[in-house]
Amino acid sequence: MFGRTVFLIVMVVTGLAAVAWAVYGSRLAPADFSFTNETEIATVDPALATGQPEMRIIQSLFEGLGRQSPKDTHFAPGAAEKWEISEDGRVYTFHLRHDARWSNGEPVTARDFSYSIRRLLDPLTYSRYAYEGWYLVNGKKYTLASELAAGDPVEIEMNLAAGVPNTVRGELLLGKLVRREASAAKSNATAAKGDDAEPKQDIFVVEIDGKERRFKVAEATDRVPKDVERCRQVLLDFREVGLKVIDDYTLELRLTNPTPYFLDLLAYYPLAPVNQACVEKYGSPDWLRPEHIVTNGPFRMVARRLRDRVRLVRSDTYWDRENVKLNVVDALSVDDRTTAFNLYMTRMVDWDTVPPAEVLRELLKEPRNDLNPAPQLTTYYFLLNTTRPPLDDKRVRQALSMAIDREEVTRVATGAGEIPAYSLVPPSMPGYHKQECKPFDPAAARKLLAEAGFPEGQGFPRIEILYNTDQAHQAIAELIRKQWQNNLGITATLRNEEWGSYQDSIQQLKFTVARRAWVGDYMDPNTYADMFVTGGENNNTGFANPEYDKLISDAATEVDKTKRMELLEKSERMLMDEQPIIPVYFYVSRNMVRPWVRGFYNTLQDVHPIRDIWIDRSVKQDDPRPNEYMEPVK
């Protein structure tokens, strides 16, 4: 009996202690401004992040040469105060402001940018956005060692001693690449795969101080041939890359091509600076912990709780701190869209980034002062596998496109006022006339299909529509299947795969028709057009046309802005005639923002820097005066 009582008491005490811990152990004072930031962010490292939720945090923590202006997301001065661009549009000289400071009080200098851009390009940083640095002369060659050729100046990074943080660089040897050789001893990995077709050219013969030495990328424990030295990596000599620190406050960037949108890219977070001393002291990812991280942006990160929140506090070293109005900001990670919406409706947050589509449809029936969907730089389209018959026939692809009633899709299947798309490039790209594919025309579509040998859809094989598992995608695919059935007499089946498998299938062209959405990286049609060059990583249709490739490369080198746009227009014209893709609709933004939130604008890229947001306490919920967000979109 005694044992039982003790057992019970122990259980009760443990339970109460746990509850007490849960309640009092994790309290934070309330924030001035809270918003739901979708899913848990993957990282706060500017070089490693890729998504929208990450961006909202990172652009508050770090500031590049420029920052994204809240009104139109174009370049606004950041760490750079003024800049000059050469006549040919290839050389940018930036003058850094002298009062830009890191959160530890040290000045932000040109050297910080040089370090950070090199780090972004370094393959060992594993950045997915390394290509943001490839606009620089030799930037791509620095990242991709496979592009090194005999005669190139190279830097050999030696292996690190044990216990050194992974972000420190090994000792550097500078030399000239003489040739590359295949190593005689094959590594276990390639031997096991049995891929002996082409031995890898993995030995670098480099001339250093007049002596030839042989290097192989290998760890201290790997076996290497006798006369070969182990190293961490062999890269192009970084001095070859188009980046020059002229003095502490002057930075020169040289580009391969005149890139009219380059300034906008500099305002984008991957090219933001990181603090070398901090990164090298703690190593990755430990330097990103709130207690270690050193930042230069308008906010500091004071707490980061997994799947709960990131807490930002206004930085008192930021150069423009007078114009940062919010003191404490919480970015809540809320996975469930309905939950996020509930938080918004119960006023626990002032900004809901993505309310659920089914709720929007209801809300939009009445005028509201906190919801104003506006066009966005994102296109929803179908990829057609042009290597698979019958989709290898252009007429079939056109017929499929012309048999889709996009108006019905946006009316029935989406519901937040999405815009039917007949082009890949979204509207309102400045200076660009979008090129459209043929409109909805079932009769003409049937005729084309008959010409291709399938009158009334007879003999047309069953085709499959692939999408990643999601109710919204399913609804769209169902509807299009029905439209094809009714308008062309052909049968389609649906196949859904969850994200990872779906990505794999798309990359390996293991599909017939597949959905995809593309968010523009910058405000220029090129962000869409250059996907479809032959062999492009994101082409994924098998579409290959030398003429198209030439248009894209010509546009890249064209200095004249009008001519450049004409070239890009021609490329889209070609894409819309050949139709390796079928555009379906353009996304609209769907933020819900309380009327007292000011400095929040509708922008094409759906970017809303927290730096510029402020709270107007005098405004009540039913205030008739619209805030910036509710102003009609041009």
Partner 1 sequence: MTWFFVRRLLGLVVTLWVVFTVSFLLMLAVPGGPYSAERNLPPELEANFKHRYRTDLPWYEQYTFDLSRDLTGDLGMSSRLQDFSVNQVIKEGLPISASLGIFALFFAIVLGLSAGIVSALYRGSIADFSLMSLATVGIAIPSFVVAGLAIMLFVFVIPIFPAAGWGTLRQLVLPSLCLGLAYAAEIARITRTGMLDALSQDYVRTARAKGLSEFMVAIRHALPTALLPVVSYLGPAVAGILTGSVVIEKIFAIPGLGWHFVQAALQRDLTLAMGLVLLYTVLLYTMNFIVDLSYGILDPRVELK
For the chain, the 3-state helix, strand and coil shares in percent, each to the nearest 5, are 35, 20, 45
Residue in 105, 162, 184, 192 binding partner 1, rule: CB under 8 A: 192
CB of 85: closest distance to partner 1 in angstroms? 28
Interface with partner 1 by CB under 8 A: which range of 7-15, 171-179, 448-456, 613-621? 7-15
Could you tell me if 555 and 568 are in contact, meaning their C-beta atoms sit under 8 angstroms apart?
Answer: yes
Binding flag, residue 471, partner 1 (CB under 8 A):
no
Interface with partner 1 by CB under 8 A: which range of 20-28, 83-91, 386-394, 408-416? 20-28
Closest Cα to residue 435, out of 448, 422, 451, 452?
422
Nearer to partner 1, 100 or 592 (CB): 592
CB of 192: closest distance to partner 1 in angstroms? 4
Binding flag, residue 538, partner 1 (CB under 8 A):
yes
Residue in 335, 407, 456, 577 binding partner 1, rule: CB under 8 A: 335
Nearer to partner 1, 105 or 500 (CB): 500
CB of 185: closest distance to partner 1 in angstroms? 16
CA–CA dist 362, 90 (Å, integer):
51
CA–CA dist 333, 52 (Å, integer):
12
Could you tell me if 432 and 466 are in contact, meaning their C-beta atoms sit under 8 angstroms apart?
Answer: no
Interface with partner 1 by CB under 8 A: which range of 25-33, 392-400, 483-491, 616-624? 25-33
Whole-number Cα distances in Å, 284 to 43, 232, 303: 11, 17, 18
Residues between 146 and 175 that touch partner 1 (CB under 8 A): 146
Amino acid letter for position 177: L
CA–CA dist 114, 137 (Å, integer):
14
Binding flag, residue 29, partner 1 (CB under 8 A):
no
Binding flag, residue 222, partner 1 (CB under 8 A):
no
CB of 46: closest distance to partner 1 in angstroms? 12
Nearer to partner 1, 116 or 602 (CB): 116
Residues between 226 and 255 that touch partner 1 (CB under 8 A): none
- Considering only the C-alpha atoms of the chain, give the largest distance between any 2 of them, rounded to a whole number of Å: 93
Binding flag, residue 451, partner 1 (CB under 8 A):
no
| Per-residue mark of binding to partner 1, 483-512 (x: CB under 8 A) | ---------------xxxx-xxx-x-----
CB of 49: closest distance to partner 1 in angstroms? 9
Nearer to partner 1, 92 or 586 (CB): 586
What are 259-262's contacts with CB under 8 Å, separation 24+? 259/89, 259/135, 259/556, 260/89, 260/524, 260/561, 260/564, 261/522, 261/523, 261/524, 261/526, 262/92, 262/135
CB of 458: closest distance to partner 1 in angstroms? 35
Closest Cα to residue 47, out of 271, 264, 242, 238?
271
Nearer to partner 1, 385 or 627 (CB): 385
| Per-residue mark of binding to partner 1, 292-311 (x: CB under 8 A) | ------------xxxxx---
Closest Cα to residue 484, out of 505, 457, 454, 450?
457
Query: Which DSSP string do the residues of 360-410 spell out, in sequence order?
Result: HHHHTTS--SSB---EEEEEEEEEE-TTSTTTTSHHHHHHHHHT--HHHII
CB of 278: closest distance to partner 1 in angstroms? 14
Non-local CB neighbours of 190 within 8 Å, separated by 6+ positions? 196, 200
CA–CA dist 1, 357 (Å, integer):
59
Closest Cα to residue 387, out of 580, 221, 607, 225?
580
Residue in 31, 35, 45, 270 binding partner 1, rule: CB under 8 A: 45
CA–CA dist 182, 472 (Å, integer):
50
Non-local CB neighbours of 412 within 8 Å, separated by 6+ positions? 475, 479
Tokens of residue 534, six digits? 């032959």
Non-local CB neighbours of 532 within 8 Å, separated by 6+ positions? 539, 541, 543, 548, 575, 580, 581
CA–CA dist 280, 511 (Å, integer):
45
Cα 8 from chain centroid (whole Å):
54
- Residues binding partner 1: what is the number (CB under 8 A)? 64
Nearer to partner 1, 333 or 487 (CB): 333
CA–CA dist 569, 572 (Å, integer):
5
Residue in 69, 143, 372, 541 binding partner 1, rule: CB under 8 A: 143
Interface with partner 1 by CB under 8 A: which range of 141-149, 154-162, 367-375, 456-464? 141-149
Nearer to partner 1, 142 or 484 (CB): 142
Residue in 71, 128, 292, 625 binding partner 1, rule: CB under 8 A: 128
Nearer to partner 1, 166 or 486 (CB): 166
Nearer to partner 1, 15 or 453 (CB): 15
Binding flag, residue 61, partner 1 (CB under 8 A):
no
CB of 446: closest distance to partner 1 in angstroms? 35
Residue in 386, 540, 541, 627 binding partner 1, rule: CB under 8 A: 540
CB of 204: closest distance to partner 1 in angstroms? 15
Amino acid letter for position 530: D
Nearer to partner 1, 130 or 156 (CB): 130
Summarize as ranges the residues that interact with partner 1 (CB under 8 A): 3-4, 7, 14-15, 18-19, 21-23, 26-28, 40, 42-45, 48, 50, 123, 126, 128, 130, 143-146, 188-189, 192-193, 285, 288-289, 304-308, 332-336, 338-340, 342-343, 345-346, 348, 498-501, 503-505, 507, 537-538, 540
